[in-house]
Amino acid sequence: MSANPFEGYYNEKEKQEGGNLDAHDESLLLSTKEILSKATPSLEYCTVSVEETIDKLNTNSKTGLSSVDEADHRRKEYGPNEISVEDDESLWKKFLSNFVEDRLILLLIGSAVVSAIMGNLDDAVSITLAIVIVVSVGFVQEYRSEKSLEALNKLVPAECHLIRGGQEAHVLASVLVPGDLVCFRIGDRIPADLRIVEAVDLSIDESNLTGENEPVHKVTTAINKESYNYDASGIVPLSDRTNIAYMGTLVKEGHGKGIVVGTSTNTTFGAVFEMMSSIEKPKTPLQLAMDKLGKDLSLFSFIVIGFICFIGIIQGRSWLEMFQISVSLAVAAIPEGLPIIVTVTLALGVLRMAKRKAIVRRLPSVETLGSVNVICSDKTGTLTSNHMTVCKIWCLGSMTNKNNVLDLQKTKDVSFKNYLTDDVRATLAISNICNNASFSQEHGKYLGNPTDIALLEQLSKFDLEDNRPNVNKVHEIPFNSKRKFMASEIIEQDGSHVLYVKGAFERILDESTTFLNEKGKIEKLTNAQKATITDCANTLASEGLRTLAFAKIHMKDSEIVEKLTEDMVKDLTFTGLIGMSDPPRPTVKPAIEQLLQGGVHIIMITGDSENTAVNIARQIGIPVIDPKLSVLNGEKLNEMSDEQLANVIDHVSVFARATPEHKLNIVRALRQRGEVVAMTGDGVNDAPALKLADIGVSMGKMGTDVAKEASDMVLTDDDFSTILTAIEEGKGIFNNIQNFLTFQLSTSVAALSLVALATLFKLPNPLNAMQILWINILMDGPPAQSLGVEPVDHEVMKKPPRRRTDKILTQKVLRRLIGTAACIIIGTIYVFVKEMAEDGQVTARDTTMTFTCFVFFDMFNALACRHSTKSIFEVGFLTNKMFNAAVGLSLLGQMCAIYIPFFQNVFKTERLSFGDLIFLLFVSSSVFIIDELRKYYDKKKAQNDPSYYSLV
């Protein structure tokens, strides 16, 4: 077995690159061996017993650390259990590096130096000031993006089950200290390096450390120093430390407890993480797409700028002037800030989503959210409230027929002690023992699986108490979706071994041969009685209740073995059924109505029976017209190929008796049809389906760590309606990206075309280098960014999902930006020619009028770009405060450029009269008016043809 944490990573890298590792990778590979050779807590404690570990850390294997004060003292000594890599580079270094990393900025610096040498100090100072402003704007944008992404990384903190002072609590992993006692179960991520003190069928996936995909079976016994064969280095390999649970690994099977021996960087994973942080993080697909768009636009811009420069020099213009104009145009026209603005927009959108209880873990997923047209959702906890309540109990011995059911909800606050016949008592006892929920004094409630919690909460109705502390449990088979049952072996006071079992009623009934009557006697179970049990279970299910069956068996001496196995669960004695309800969340039905209205297909997937599933589906508004067509159960799914499922899945709204493995087939079939799928899940076995889906959605409260890691989005409230708000936000963000692209590119095209046309027709340049750079600041700066945070229009949910193949720059967007650019060009040239014609030459007044006209055009263009289809009078002028502030500051900056003497010298401008400003506002408002008329025309067309907006 491999002991190298990076082996899997580098093997995969070699496969992908088809070559050898580079020197950087080889140095990292050697560094890992040095890390493994260091004495770590996991290496020290793997060779000592549980008792020695407890003694060394002064803790307790049952109650954990004795007090909060002791934990605080240790936290001061060891620090928080967090792994973060400090950025050693100061802000000043980062800022200064921007001056030398951009070749265009270097060209501008060269232009300033040449101007200074030639005695044009005004130009040199002006260009230098412009460089500082341009670099500062870009730096602020990038810094804001980094801070937004840092905030995203803190949205999904690691959590764990801590026992301290004998009290269990659900806490952040960062509070752990050496000596703490931690509980973990299937699907949990280990929060620190632990010395395992209790293990029940425990297997942990350590592939992220060892490179081995096979889960490691864990035990509590210490590794014997004398008998163990160490490798050549004298170090116990990571994969052979079978009594250690490593930070960051995943529990694949069973459950257990462990004492914290290492935290933060004092863990194996922590040491590897510090080194891995030096590997550069790849760009997201959306960022790569924006980079490609930027490169294509840059190539086009360079061709146009080269043409402008060439023609200008041929015409005899000053080569220094043309050089400055060309470089300034390149800085303004090439959208080098596009990826930054897109990242900031996505990050800010994701932070808004977090406030609405949807945490998006991967930024490109925001774009995909707008395309989702199928949502596959779990029932329990997502569509329902996730608080199970026992409603009905039925036992064959004391209740005989399906109508004679003990209803616990008809009479509230009343003891049901008088109904405790022997079969009811046995059913309650099994529900108590086959249970892993635990009571937390800190939270004042039970923590654990909702079904287990409901079974414990019902005990008080019968004046019974939790009897687990008095029971000697020796073995357990945990519940999973394949076996559909849980079994616990206990030793009773007389020394006999009894097996208690709970699970799906079909599974329990198949293995039952006898039943317990009301007097506690065991009788043979006939086929007619099995039919009665099935009939009763179906009746409970048709009422929307989740139904579990309970059984037990006294084990023979020959059956008592060291390990409990599935094949021993047979010849059971059936005791009774319990029906539990988990009512639909009140927010789900309106959300489903909106999604259906927007063309999204909703599919409910549940492990419950068909009757229960159909009942719940109809309650929440999922259309189930004909159950024969709209409902598929797990048995039918097993018989279908992917092609057969893909052919019928368009009509299916409910999958009943489905396992997490079925989810994978469902997602595969949907994607085969070309659908964009969102899939919800919370368990370990859900991870493959979550990863395969276009948007994997895990539950924040009930979801396991492995499900969260495989998902793209985490719902912190486990509420289905949150998916609606996330899709709405995703659609809105994509629209915002298109809107600020329209603004940026139309301004860029207008600026390039304006100078190109002036050069081509041998007119003086209407804008000087400084003025072009100022326009660049407006184009890449606050006005553009403010378009990215435009509030979401709720009507986006009425439009069908965006197709997977749709590009960001659609034909509609291209037509709009070209039309806008043409309007800006015509209006600006009109003002330039009109002013120049009055005195026959280009004066400071002419360029000031042209420059201000272009800036005003820019602001009106930004206003028009706030929404692609709605009038600004419908959207509202005050709904985007950031936009108003950005435009206000930009106009204030423009006023400074034409009225303050210092800036007049920088931009080569002069004062304009109030009448001039009114004239320019009138001319530049044409771009806004024309766009408003376009929206009005489109709206009229859409009223006659609802599909119009999807066609243009």
Higher pLDDT, 324 or 902: 902
List the strands of the sheet with 374-378, edge to edge.
358-360, 713-715, 695-699, 677-681, 374-378, 601-605, 654-656, 631-633
Q: Which amino acid is at 415?
A: S
| 495 Cβ contact partners less than 8 Å away, ≥ 6 residues apart | none
pLDDT tens track for 196-240: 999 988 888 887 676 566 788 899 998 876 655 555 555 777 777
The predicted model gives 551-558 an average pLDDT of 85
Residue 188: the pLDDT is 86
Token digits for 450? 């909702």
Is there a contact between 767 and 867 (Cβ–Cβ < 8 Å)? Answer: no
Picking from 925, 926, 927, 935, the residue whose alpha carbon sits closest to that of residue 867 is: 935
The predicted model gives 148-167 an average pLDDT of 73
> DSSP string covering 883-944, please?
HHHHHHHHHHHHHHHHHSHHHHHHHT-----HHHHHHHHHHHTHHHHHHHHHHHHHHHHHHH
CA angle 91, 93, 94 (to 5 degrees): 65
Confidence of residue 885 (pLDDT cuts 50, 70, 90): very high
Distance, CA of 172 to CA of 162 (rounded, Å): 9
pLDDT of 573 higher than 70: yes
Distance, CA of 164 to CA of 172 (rounded, Å): 14
Residue 84: the pLDDT is 64
Distance, CA of 407 to CA of 424 (rounded, Å): 13
> DSSP string covering 217-241, please?
E--SSPPPTTT----TTS---GGG-
Residue 240: the pLDDT is 79
H or E stretch covering 358:
strand 358-360
Picking from 686, 793, 783, 692, the residue whose alpha carbon sits closest to that of residue 735 is: 793
Residue 4: the pLDDT is 37
Confidence of residue 512 (pLDDT cuts 50, 70, 90): very high
Confidence of residue 27 (pLDDT cuts 50, 70, 90): very low
pLDDT of 22 higher than 50: no
Q: Which amino acid is at 695?
A: I
| 242 Cβ contact partners less than 8 Å away, ≥ 6 residues apart | 46, 216, 217, 218, 219, 223
H or E stretch covering 314:
helix 285-314
| 296 Cβ contact partners less than 8 Å away, ≥ 6 residues apart | none
The predicted model gives 386-403 an average pLDDT of 82
The dihedrals phi and psi of 507, each to the nearest 5 degrees, come to -65, -45
Ranking 194-203, 334-343, 394-403, 567-576 by mean pLDDT, the lowest is 334-343
Residue 551: the pLDDT is 96
Positions of E strands within 753-880: none
Percent of the chain with pLDDT strictly greater than 90: 26
CA angle 933, 937, 942 (to 5 degrees): 145
pLDDT tens track for 314-338: 877 777 777 767 766 666 566 555 6
The residues pairing with 696 across neighbouring beta strands, listed in sequence order, are: 679
pLDDT of 394 higher than 70: yes
Q: Which amino acid is at 639?
A: E
Catalytic residue among 123, 180, 193, 378: 378
> DSSP string covering 812-879, please?
HHHHHHHHHHHHHHHHHHHHHHHHHHHHSS--HHHHHHHHHHHHHHHHHHHHHTT-SSS-HHHH-TTS
pLDDT of 521 higher than 80: yes
The residues pairing with 164 across neighbouring beta strands, listed in sequence order, are: 167
Token digits for 75? 């936290």
Residue 601: the pLDDT is 92
Distance, CA of 828 to CA of 857 (rounded, Å): 8
Give, as one character, the DSSP assignment of residue 650: G
Q: Which amino acid is at 517?
A: N
> DSSP string covering 537-572, please?
HHHHHHTT-EEEEEEEEEPPGGG--SS--GGG--SE
Confidence of residue 138 (pLDDT cuts 50, 70, 90): low
Residue 256: the pLDDT is 92
Residue 912: the pLDDT is 93
Picking from 132, 137, 113, 133, the residue whose alpha carbon sits closest to that of residue 123 is: 113
Token digits for 233? 């280095």
pLDDT tens track for 31-63: 444 545 556 788 889 889 999 999 999 999 999
Picking from 674, 651, 693, 672, the residue whose alpha carbon sits closest to that of residue 803 is: 674
Residue 523: the pLDDT is 93
Distance, CA of 540 to CA of 529 (rounded, Å): 17
pLDDT of 708 higher than 90: no
Length of the chain as a residue count: 952
The predicted model gives 741-760 an average pLDDT of 82
Among this protein's residues, is 378 annotated catalytic? Answer: yes
Residue 103: the pLDDT is 56
CA angle 713, 717, 722 (to 5 degrees): 60
Is there a contact between 158 and 700 (Cβ–Cβ < 8 Å)? Answer: no
Higher pLDDT, 177 or 83: 177
pLDDT tens track for 80-131: 988 765 555 677 777 777 676 655 566 567 667 766 776 666 666 766 776 7
Ranking 567-571, 779-783, 930-934 by mean pLDDT, the lowest is 779-783
The predicted model gives 361-365 an average pLDDT of 73
Alpha helices in 761-810 (DSSP H): 769-780, 782-787
The predicted model gives 642-670 an average pLDDT of 88
Q: Report the chain's terminal Cα–Cα distance, integer Å.
A: 59
Distance, CA of 238 to CA of 226 (rounded, Å): 18
What is the pLDDT of the chain when averaged over all its residues?
A: 80
Place of tokens 């015409």: 315
pLDDT of 401 higher than 80: no
pLDDT tens track for 629-653: 899 988 888 888 888 898 889 889 9
Alpha helices in 22-120 (DSSP H): 23-37, 41-45, 50-57, 68-78, 91-101, 103-117
Picking from 386, 539, 393, 394, the residue whose alpha carbon sits closest to that of residue 451 is: 386
Q: CA separation (Å) from 390 to 450, 457, 578?
A: 11, 8, 7
Percent of the chain with pLDDT strictly greater than 70: 80
The predicted model gives 253-281 an average pLDDT of 75
Residue 279: the pLDDT is 44
Token digits for 696? 């994997």
Distance, CA of 722 to CA of 391 (rounded, Å): 28
Distance, CA of 394 to CA of 409 (rounded, Å): 14
Q: Which of 80-94, 460-474, 556-570 has the highest mean pLDDT?
A: 460-474
Is there a contact between 488 and 475 (Cβ–Cβ < 8 Å)? Answer: yes
Alpha helices in 640-720 (DSSP H): 642-648, 660-672, 687-692, 705-710
Ranking 207-221, 291-305, 541-555, 638-652 by mean pLDDT, the lowest is 291-305
Residue 195: the pLDDT is 95
Residue 455: the pLDDT is 94
